[in-house]
């Protein structure tokens, strides 16, 4: 969970910026435009990519005072485990 230093509601592009920064740290170049959507007072972005045999599911969510970057790495085996992991992301909320 990250502390957000910008004031006010999340700005368009802010959730994308978190994913792009994470991918740049790993020296990945995104090949597609990332989509964002507003959900329950937050801004959410997601991206899936393949690095060798590994699939990366990258999600970010920005609230007024907090933000999170969530990653799940898998080899495409169990869609049930993937859905469980994405459910954890969907259920994550800041405490204060």
Task: Give the CATH number, domain containing residue 7.
Answer: 3.10.450
Which pLDDT score, from 0 to 100, does residue 31 have? 67
If you average pLDDT over residues 38-66, what whole number do you get?
A: 91
**Average pLDDT of the residues in 33-42:** 88
pLDDT value of position 22:
92
Q: Is 96 part of a structural domain of the chain?
A: no
**Is the torsion defined by CA of 27, 33, 39, 43 positive or negative?**
positive
> What's the total number of domains in the chain?
1
Assess whether pLDDT exceeds 70 at residue 96: no
Q: Going by DSSP bridges, is the β-strand pair 66-74/54-62 parallel, antiparallel, or unpaired?
A: antiparallel
Q: Is residue 63 domain-resident?
A: yes
pTM for the model: 0.84
- To 5 degrees, how large is the angle CA 36–CA 18–CA 95? 90
Q: What letter does residue 56 receive in the DSSP assignment?
A: E
């Amino acid at each position: 969970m990250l502390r957000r230093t910008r004031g006010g509601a999340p700005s368009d592009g802010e959730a994308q910026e978190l994913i792009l920064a994470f991918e740049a740290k790993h020296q990945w170049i995104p090949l597609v435009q990332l989509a964002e959507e507003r959900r329950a007072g937050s801004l959410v972005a997601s991206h899936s990519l393949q690095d060798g045999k590994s699939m990366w599911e990258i999600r970010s969510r920005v609230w007024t005072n907090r933000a999170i970057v969530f990653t799940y790495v898998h080899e495409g085996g169990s869609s049930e485990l993937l859905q469980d992991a994405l459910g954890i992301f969907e259920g994550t909320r800041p405490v204060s």
